[in-house]
Structure 1
Amino acid sequence: MKLRKIVLAAALTAAGAGALLTAPAAMAQEQYLPVLSYRTGPYAPNGTPTANGIVDYYKLVNERGGINGVKILVEECETGYDTARSVECYERLKGKNGGAALIHPWSTGATFALTEKAPVDKIPLITTGYGRSESADGMVFKWNFPLLGTYWVAADVIVQAIGKKEGGLDKLKGKKIALVYHDSPFGKEPIPLLQERAKMHGFDLQLLPVTAPGVEQKATWLQVRQSRPDYVLLWGWGVMNSTALKEAQATGYPRDKMYGVWWAGAEPDVRDVGQGAKGYNAVTLQHGTDRNAPIVKEILDKLHAKGKGTGPKEEVGETLYLRGVVSAAMGVEGIRAAQERFGKGKVMTGEQVRWGLENLNLTQAKLDALGFKGVLRGPISTSCTDHVGSGAARIHTWDGSKWAFSTDWFDADSQIIKPMVKSTAAKYGAEKKLEARPAADCSS
C-alpha cells in the first residue's frame, strides 16, 4: 500500500522553513479528504485520470480560496483496485488529520466492504455512479450516497434508449438482449433491473459473465456469435472493455448494437480500437467528454498553465477525468451545505458532512456558477429518503475518433426503480438487523 501526500493548502509554500514550523497549527484549519486511488495494476489506465480529476478539483477549490476559506488537505492511498487494499487504506487514513470528512471508495467491491464500517466510523461514502443500487434509500443506508445515478438508473436508461431506437418499448417483445458483465459485485448490479424490464417488455435476457480482469473473452463472444442477440450490454471496467470491442469486431457483431455502462464509455475503452469501435454507445453519468466546459477551462488556466496540474493537460476534459472532477465537486458541495448549517469557515466532521450530503440543493444556476454548465443538469437534490439526487442520463456514441452525445436526456423510471430500492434495502436492513431510522432523524 502506497501513500502519496498532496498538501494543497498554500501555507507550506509561502515562507519556507517558517511555514513548516507552523504547519501543524495550519492543518487544524484544513479539511482532510483522503483519496483512494489506483494508479497501478490492470485498471490503472482508467483509475489514473479519475484520480487526477479529483485532485485537480481539490487544488482548484484551494485556488478559489477554499470552502468558505477552509483549505483542503489531500492524501492519496494506492489500492490497485483491490478490495482488501482499499479497506486497508481506509483504516489507515480515516482517523488522520482530525478525521476524514468523507470517502470515495472508487470500487463497488470496496463500497460493499465499507458500507458496514461507515456507520460505526461516522464517515459518509460518496459513490457517484457505482456501489449498491439499493443504497439510494437513505432511511436504511444513512451513510451511503450513490450521487447522480445508480447502476439501476444506468440499466434503465439504456433499455429506454434501445426502446426509443426500436420505435417504442413494446417493440422489445421477442428481442434478445445479452449482458456481458464483469463477474463481480459491480457487474452483477444491473441484473435485477434488467430482469424486471425483461418481464415487463417480453425480451429475452442472456447473462454472460466475464472473469476479471477480462482479457480473455473468446468463449463469451463465441456464445454471442451463436445466439446473435439483438443488442449487447457491456458492463465492464478497464481492459475488459477494449477487449470486448475487439472481440465484437473480430466476430462481426455490430458495434452500434452495443451499449456500455458509464464505466465502459470513456477514452481508454475505445482509443486503441479506434475505427473498430465506431458506432459503440454508452450511457453517461450526465457528463461525457467536454474540453470546452467552463470548469475545464478554469482548471487549465489556474492549474495546468502554471505547472500545478496533476496529470497531462491533454486528458483534462476527457470522460474519466471529468468523472473525478464531478465526484470531487459533489463532496465539496456536501461540505459547503454542512457549513451553511454548522458554521461557515469551519472544518466539518464526517457526521456534519453526512447531513450536508443529505441536504444538497444544486440548482442549475448553482451548477453553472461552479463551472458545470453543459456538464451537469440540475436540480441535483437529495433528502433523507433519496441519496441519489438525480436520475437523468444521456447516451453518447463513439464516432471512431471522439465521443459525442447521440440522444437527449432520459430520466430513469422511478415507478420501477423506487419499489426495487425500497424492497432490496429493507431486505438488507433485516439481514443486518439494522434499527429503523426514526422519522425525527430527518427533521433534525
Structure 2
Amino acid sequence: MFAYRKPLLMTAVSLALLSQAASAEDQFFPITSYRVGPYGANGQSFYGGFVDYLNYVNLKDGGINGVKLVWEECETEYNNAKGVECYERMKAKAKVSTGPIHTMSTGVAYALIDKATEDKIPLAMMGYGRTDAVDGSVFPYAFPLVTTYQMQASAILKFIKDKEKGSLDGKKIVFLYHDSAYGKEPIVALQEEAKLNKFTLIQIPVAHPGNEQSAQWLKIRQENPDYVIFWGWGVMNQTALKAAQKVGFAREKMIGSWWAGSEEDTVPAGDAAKGYMAATWNVAGKDVPLIADIEKVVYGAGKGDLQDKTKLGTILYNRGVSAAVLSVEALRGAQAKYGKGKPVNGEQVRWALENLNITDARLKEIGAVNLLPPIKTSCTNHEGSGMVKIQQWDGAKWVPVSGWIEGNKELIHPLFKTSAQQYAKEKNITPRDCAKES
C-alpha cells in the first residue's frame, strides 16, 4: 500500500509527480523535493532520509495510532516557480489531511508563505526559509524550526569568539555567500554582531550555482581575513574548498553553514576539505539508534528509498530523518488533541507545531538523540531551539568539536520581531494576540 517508487521527470514542465493511493483514513504528506539539477545530490540524501522514516513508521508501528502515512513527491529542481507549481498540484489533497511541507529551499518557502497561510497548510522550514517567521503572531503557518540562519550565524560567531579568547575586536571576517534569498538571510544578523563585537565584516556574494569563484577568492587572498563564514550550497561548496586550498587559506579558519557541511561537500573536495568546519544540528553516522533501526527495518524489507546506500547515515540523510521525526511528532501531538487514530488537517497540525515539546527524554525514547536538539515552540517562538553544534571534517568523517551553542538571542530575536511587524504592516496583517493563545 505504501511502497514508494522513484518519481519520473516530466520534461514538458520539468516536474515529477508521484501519487500514492490514499484513503480518508490515511495521513497525506505533500513532498516538494529535488533529486535532479545542480543541487540534486543534496536532495537525494535529505529526501531519502525523510521518506525512509515515513516508511519506517508504517512498517514498525503501522502508522501513527493506526493511521498510515502516504505521500506525493513532486520534483522542483530547486526552482522557485516549479516549487509553487508543485504546491498547487498537491494542495487539494493537503487541504484534507497533511503533514508539514518541507521545501528545502528558502526561495520556494518565501514564495509559498502567503499561499500556505491562505490554504491553512503549514510550512516547516527546518534551518532555512524566512527567519522572521519565528514570530508566530504574524506568520501562523510558517515554522523556521530548530534554528534559523540568523541564530546560526550568531552561534558561529560565538564559537569563533571563544577560540579568540573572548574577543573579536579588530578581527576581519569575510562572509562568502550564495547570492540568493538563502545566502542573504543572515546578513542583518552579521551586521549587528559586527557592531556589537567590533569586527570588520566583508561581504562577498557568489552567483548561482557557484562553480566559478576565482574572483571571490582573489579578493579573500587580498583581504587576508581572520576567518571566512561560508554560506554555500551544492557544487559551490566543494568549489570553495578547492579554491581556498589553491590560494592558501587555512580551512581551519573557514566555517560553513549547515547546508555547506555534508559529505556531498567534503568528499568531492578531497584533501582540500580537511580541517574545514561547519555548523549542524544533527550528527552523521549509523551508530544513532534510529538510523541503525531504519536500516534494519526499512532496507531489510526492501523498502529503502536510497539507490546509493552509501548515503545512509550521512549528514543530509540523517537531517532528512530529523525533519521527518519532527513532522511525525507534530502529527502525534495533533492526534493527541484532536482525536487519536484519525488523520489531522493543516489547522490541527499548525496547532501542534506551535505547541511542540520534544524533550531529551522523548528523543532518547525514539533513538533520535543528536538528530535534533530539544525543541519547545510557542506562538511567539516558532523556532523552538536556536542551538547548533560545530563539526569538523577530519579527512574521512565529520567529528563534533563543540556542544550545543545558542546564538545571541537577546540581539537576534528583536531583529525577527521588527522585520515581522514591518511585514504585517506592508501586508495589512493584524497580528494575533499570543497572550490569549498561550
Percent identity between the two aligned chains: 48
Kept after mapping to 2: 8 A contact 1:156/1:193:
yes
Kept after mapping to 2: 8 A contact 1:93/1:100:
no
Kept after mapping to 2: 8 A contact 1:3/1:78:
yes
Partner residue, 2:136: 138
Name the amino acid aligned to 2:123: L
Name the amino acid aligned to 1:127: M
Could you say what secondary structure the match of 2:36 adopts?
coil
Kept after mapping to 2: 8 A contact 1:53/1:325:
yes
Could you say what secondary structure the match of 1:306 adopts?
coil
Could you say what secondary structure the match of 1:279 adopts?
coil
> What aligned pairs does 1:180-191 form with structure 2 within 5 A after superposition?
180-191=176-187
Partner residue, 2:16: 3
Partner residue, 1:257: 253
| Equivalent-residue separation in structure 2 for 1:315 and 1:279 (angstroms) | 22
1:439 Cα shift? 4.0
Moved more, 63-72 or 253-262: 63-72
Could you say what secondary structure the match of 1:434 adopts?
coil
> What aligned pairs does 1:15-414 form with structure 2 within 5 A after superposition?
27-63=23-59, 64-96=61-93, 98-168=96-166, 170=167, 172-284=168-280, 286-311=281-306, 312-378=308-374, 380-414=375-409
Pairing 1:429–2:424 present: yes
Name the amino acid aligned to 2:231: W
Instruction: Encode CA deviations 1:135-183: one digit per residue, 9 max, x unaligned.
Output: 1111111111111000011101100010011111x2x111110011000
Kept after mapping to 1: 8 A contact 2:390/2:402:
yes
Instruction: Encode CA deviations 1:374-424: one digit per residue, 9 max, x unaligned.
Output: 33332x111111111111211000011111001122112211112111111
Unaligned runs of 5+ in 1: 8-22
| Equivalent-residue separation in structure 2 for 1:249 and 1:166 (angstroms) | 23
| Equivalent-residue separation in structure 1 for 2:82 and 2:225 (angstroms) | 38
| Equivalent-residue separation in structure 2 for 1:318 and 1:6 (angstroms) | 28
1:100 Cα shift? 3.5
1:35 Cα shift? 0.8
| Equivalent-residue separation in structure 2 for 1:262 and 1:441 (angstroms) | 36
Name the amino acid aligned to 1:103: I
Kept after mapping to 2: 8 A contact 1:42/1:238:
yes
1:99 Cα shift? 4.7
RMSD, matched Cα: 1.3
Kept after mapping to 1: 8 A contact 2:15/2:82:
no
Quick one: structure 1 residues 100 and 3, their matched pair in 2 at CA, closer, same or farther if it must change by over 3 Å? farther
| Equivalent-residue separation in structure 2 for 1:155 and 1:439 (angstroms) | 27
Partner residue, 2:411: 416
Kept after mapping to 1: 8 A contact 2:379/2:434:
no
Q: How many residues align?
A: 422
1:209 Cα shift? 0.4
1:72 Cα shift? 0.6
Instruction: Encode CA deviations 1:293-347: one digit per residue, 9 max, x unaligned.
Output: 0111110000112211100332111100011111111111111111111000111
* Larger relative contact order (CA 8 Å, sep ≥ 6): 2
Could you say what secondary structure the match of 1:234 adopts?
strand
Partner residue, 2:9: none
| Equivalent-residue separation in structure 2 for 1:377 and 1:422 (angstroms) | 23
Kept after mapping to 2: 8 A contact 1:133/1:421:
yes
Taking structure 2 as the reference length, the TM-score comes to 0.94
| Equivalent-residue separation in structure 2 for 1:260 and 1:440 (angstroms) | 37
Kept after mapping to 2: 8 A contact 1:277/1:398:
yes
Kept after mapping to 2: 8 A contact 1:304/1:313:
no
| Equivalent-residue separation in structure 2 for 1:302 and 1:336 (angstroms) | 21
1:41 Cα shift? 0.5
Kept after mapping to 1: 8 A contact 2:127/2:145:
yes
Kept after mapping to 1: 8 A contact 2:211/2:239:
yes
| Equivalent-residue separation in structure 1 for 2:291 and 2:171 (angstroms) | 41
Could you say what secondary structure the match of 2:305 adopts?
coil
| Equivalent-residue separation in structure 1 for 2:229 and 2:428 (angstroms) | 35
| Equivalent-residue separation in structure 2 for 1:368 and 1:238 (angstroms) | 32
Quick one: structure 1 residues 203 and 313, their matched pair in 2 at CA, closer, same or farther if it must change by over 3 Å? same
| Equivalent-residue separation in structure 2 for 1:187 and 1:73 (angstroms) | 33
Name the amino acid aligned to 2:327: G
Kept after mapping to 2: 8 A contact 1:335/1:348:
yes
Kept after mapping to 2: 8 A contact 1:396/1:406:
yes
| Equivalent-residue separation in structure 2 for 1:267 and 1:6 (angstroms) | 31
